[in-house]
Chains A and B, each alone.
Chain A
C-alpha cells in the first residue's frame, strides 16, 4: 500500500506538467490578452504595452515562458529566477506585479500592521468554508440518504427527493438570495452583509448554500446505493433476524453503500475548498473562487496557471485519498494487480 501511495504521488508530476502545458497552450491561444481591459476604458498604449511585455517576459518565445514558469529561467542579468518548484507562481498581470502566491496564500495585515494568521489568506478562507460545506453535506446527506432508503416510498423518501430536486434545479445564486431574504431581512438572525468573518454565525448561510449541491447529490447517491445493497440476498436474510443484529447489518450496509458517495466527495472537496465565484460575490466572501474566474476573464496568465495547478494537485490528491478509502471500506478491492 505504501509503495502504491508513493507511486501515485509521483504520478502528480506528469499530471501537473500535462495540466500546466494544456492550460498554457489554451490561455495563450485565447483571444485577447491581459491588457485588454473593459472596452469602454482607456487601454494601454504601445509603449506601455512593450514595457509590460518585457517585464512579464511575454516577448520571449512561448516554450521559454513555459519553462520559466514551470521550472525557472535566467533573467537578462544572468540571475536564475526559480519558478514553480520554489513556490513561485509568477507575478499577477492585472494586479500589476503582485505575486500570485501572495494573492492566494498571504493573509492581509491586521490592525496592528502585522499579517494575520495563515487562515485569513484567500486560500485559508476558502478552505475553511469548503470544509464546513463538506461537513454539512456529509453530516446531513448520508443520514438523509440512508433513512430515505430504509423508509423507501414513504413521505421521508419523497420529501428528501423533493428538496434535492428543488435544490439542484434552482441555481445557487437564487438559493442564496432567498436565504438572505428569509434569515437576514426577515428573521434578522444575521446581517445581510457580514460585517466580519470572525463570528461563526455568518458562515452558516454561505456554507449551506455552497454545500447544498453536494448534500443533495450525496443523499441521492446514498439512497440508491443503499437500495442496491438492500437487494443483496445476504442482507435480506440478515434483516429478518433480531434487532441487535439489524443494527449491525445497517452499519455494515452503510459501509458497503459508501463507495459512490466517497467517489464524488473526493473531487467535491477539491471543488469546495477552491471556492465558488457565486458564493463569494453574493456574500462578500474573501475566498479564492473569484480569483480563478476573474483570472480567466481578465486573461491574467500567471493567476490562471496558479489557480489551475493548485486545483489540479487538490483533485489528484483527493482522488488518491478516495482510492485509499475504497480499500479501507472494502479490503477486497485491489487497486494494483
Chain B
C-alpha cells in the first residue's frame, strides 16, 4: 500500500520518530509492518506454509485412501445432491472420483504448489532482472544480442524441451533430487525468464533517460550501484505484478508438465512428502465439474488466496523499499 493510506492514518505509534536513528532497512520494515494489507498478505502466506508443513497432522484422512462406493460425495454442508448422494460429515469438502478425501488432498497439495509457485519464480526473476537490466542499461550490442536470445527462447518449443529433459534426465540423480521437483524448477527457469527480462529492459530503457539517473551518472555513481539503488527499486512495481501472475501460471504448468512425466510422480505410498498438487487437483476437477464442483473450486480458491496475499505483500514491500518514500512519514 502507499503513502496515501499512511498519511490518512496519522495516529500510528512512533510517527515521526522513525526518522531519527533507524537504518534504511529498519525503516523499510516498519513501513511494511504498518501496512495492514501487507501484514494480512504475510499472515496468509505463513498460514499456507504452515498448512503445507503440517499437512499430515491437519489432514483428516489419508490422501491416497480409496473408499469403494464413496466417489463424488458432496461437501458436508450439502445435505444431499440432486443425484441423491448424501454427504458424509467425515469428508468436509466431499470426495473425488476414487472416493478420496478432497480436503486432505488440498492440504497436501499446498506442499508442492507453494514450493513450485515461489522457488522457480525466484530463479526466473533473478535471471530475468539481471538480463533485462544489462540489456536496457548497457544498450547497443549487449541489448541486441540479449534481446535476440529472448526472441529465440520466446519461440522455443518448450513442450519438446520438457519431454526431452524428462526422458533423458529423470533417472539420473538430478532427476531424482527432491522427488523430481528440482529438475522441474531448472527446466521452468530456463524457458521462463524472457518475459520478465523484456519487461525490466523496457522500464530501464525509459528510466535511464530520466533526470535522476542522469544526475547519478553525472556525479560519478558506479554502474552496479545505479542498477541496484536507482533502477531496481523503480522496476520493482512491474516485477511484483509479473510475479503475481507467474505464481498461478507455474502452479498450473507444474500440473500440465506432470502429465509429461516431468516433476512430481504420483506416489504409491501415502507416507511420501509430495502427494499431489493444486494444479493436479484443478485438472482432475475440471472433468468432474458437473459431479463435484468443489474438487475444482477448493484448489482454485487456495491459488487465488495465495496470489492475492502475494499481491498485497508485494505492493507493501515495493512501497517500503521505495527510496523516494524514505523518510516521507
Are A173 and B154 in contact (CB-based, < 8 A)?
Answer: no
Interface string of B153-174 (1 = CB under 8 A from A): 0111101110110010000000
What is the size category of the interface that chain A forms with chain B?
35 or more
B202 contacts A by Cβ under 8 Å: yes
Say which residue of B160, B248, B282, B311 sits within 8 Å of A27 (CB atoms): B160
A224-B2 CB under 8 A given contacts A171-B252, A293-B159, A315-B154: no
Interface size on B, residues (CB 8 A): 54
Decide: B139 and A174 in contact? CB cutoff 8 A.
no
For A231, what are the chain B residues with a Cβ–Cβ distance below 8 Å? Answer: 322, 324
Known: A153-B4, A169-B300, A267-B195. A260 touches B203 (CB 8 A): yes
Instruction: Determine how close the nearest CB of chain B comes to the CB of A331; give it in whole angstroms.
Output: 9
A166 CA to B303 CA in the complex, in Å? 9
Query: A30 and B163: CB pair below 8 A?
Result: yes
Q: Check B286 against A19 for contact (C-beta < 8 Å).
A: no
Residue pair A220, B163 in contact (C-beta under 8 Å): no
Chain A residues near B284: list those with CB within 8 A.
none
A22 and B156: CB pair below 8 A? Answer: yes
Question: A26-B161, A221-B238 are contacts. A263–B245 as well, Cβ < 8 Å?
Answer: no
In whole Å, how far is A225's beta carbon from the nearest beta carbon of chain B?
7
B151 touches A326 (CB 8 A): no
Q: How far is the CB of A100 from chain B (nearest CB, A)?
A: 15
**For A266, what are the chain B residues with a Cβ–Cβ distance below 8 Å?**
198
Interface residues of B in 156-202 (CB under 8 A from A): 156-157, 159-161, 163-164, 167, 195, 198-199, 201-202
Contact with A along B126-142 (1 / 0, CB 8 A): 00000000000001100
Residues of B with C-beta under 8 A to A18 = 152
B160 and A312 contacting across the interface, CB-CB below 8 Å: no
A29 and B164 contacting across the interface, CB-CB below 8 Å? yes
Q: How far is the CA of A324 from the CA of B192 in the complex (A)?
A: 24
CB distance from A303 to the nearest CB of B (A): 11
Chain B's closest residue to A213 (CB) is B245
Q: What are 8 A-B contacts with C-beta separation under 8 Å?
A: A15-B151, A161-B311, A165-B307, A165-B311, A168-B245, A224-B240, A263-B199, A308-B156
